Amino acid sequence: MRMENKAKSYRILIIFAHPAIRKSRVNRVMIRAAQNLPGVTVHDLYEAYPDFDIDVSREQELLLDHDIILLHHPFYWYSTPSIIKEWEDLVLTHGWAYGQAGRALRGKRLLSVITTGGREEAYQKGGHNRFTIRELLAPIEQTAYLCGMEYLPPFVVHGTHSFRPDDVERHASDYRRLLLALRDGRVDLQAAQLHPRLNADLDSILTS
């Protein structure tokens, strides 16, 4: 099976982080939509390492076993929840992920999946947050670059403060569609790079 589809099928790893999952309204629904999809591994960092005692070998193996890495989390202080930073510090070691001998992640793809309370208009020059999401995610983009990974625009769910339940469902189903398309190689990556976020116009970047 895998041999036949190899050209088209990608293994996806979702590195998920939400420190208070029971209080989550959006991310909880989204991550549920991603669960139990063949070819998609959901890895909940706070669940695996409640004491931040990250198992580096295991994490590196997980990364090696997948082709597309997603960092899925709420957008805290224009960045990730702290455990993802800890994860980066400890797992992406010199000589493994980067540096002369560090080639483990080369050719893999990386993208962020984030939710923000503020609306999209707030994230631009002159807006309340003064920078675009893409600008604020520069550290992650550069991390991907340093590790030789292809960086994709983020999947951003904006304006969650004013969400109603069906809004959440809509984004969750978009997320699921994107995951399946990424897995099956049905995303037009060149077209995608033109968008500020992958879900700006999902239909236009998915091929059949």
> What torsion do the CA atoms of 113, 63, 47, 81 make, to the nearest 10 degrees?
-40
Identity of the residue numbered 148: G
If you write DSSP's letter for every residue of 127-138 in order, what string do you get? STT-S-HHHHTH
Please give the distance of CA 96 from its chain centroid, rounded to a whole number. 21
Taking residues 141 to 160 in sequence order and writing x for each that binds other proteins by CB under 8 A, - otherwise, the string is --------------------
Q: Residues touching other proteins: how many (CB under 8 A)?
A: 15
Using CB under 8 A, which residues numbered 90 to 109 contact other proteins?
Answer: 90-95, 99-100
Nearest to 207 by CA among 186, 176, 183: 186
CA torsion through residues 145, 150, 154, 155, sign: negative
Q: How far is the CB of 99 from other proteins (least distance, A)?
A: 5
Q: How far is the CB of 88 from other proteins (least distance, A)?
A: 8
Q: Does 128 bind other proteins (CB under 8 A)?
A: no
Q: Which stretch binds other proteins (CB under 8 A): 51-59, 70-78, 167-175, 185-193?
A: 51-59
Q: Is 1 helix (H, G, I), strand (E, B) or coil?
A: coil
Q: Which stretch binds other proteins (CB under 8 A): 33-41, 47-55, 147-155, 183-191?
A: 47-55
**Residue 75, number of CB atoms within 10 A of its CB:** 24
Given 55, 61, 65, 188, the residue binding other proteins (CB under 8 A): 55
CA atoms of 86 and 39, how far apart (whole Å): 26
CA atoms of 161 and 165, how far apart (whole Å): 12
Q: Which stretch binds other proteins (CB under 8 A): 67-75, 84-92, 155-163, 169-177?
A: 84-92
Q: Does 54 bind other proteins (CB under 8 A)?
A: yes
Q: Which stretch binds other proteins (CB under 8 A): 24-32, 54-62, 121-129, 138-146?
A: 54-62
**Footprint on this chain of other proteins (rule: CB under 8 A):** 51, 53-57, 89-95, 99-100
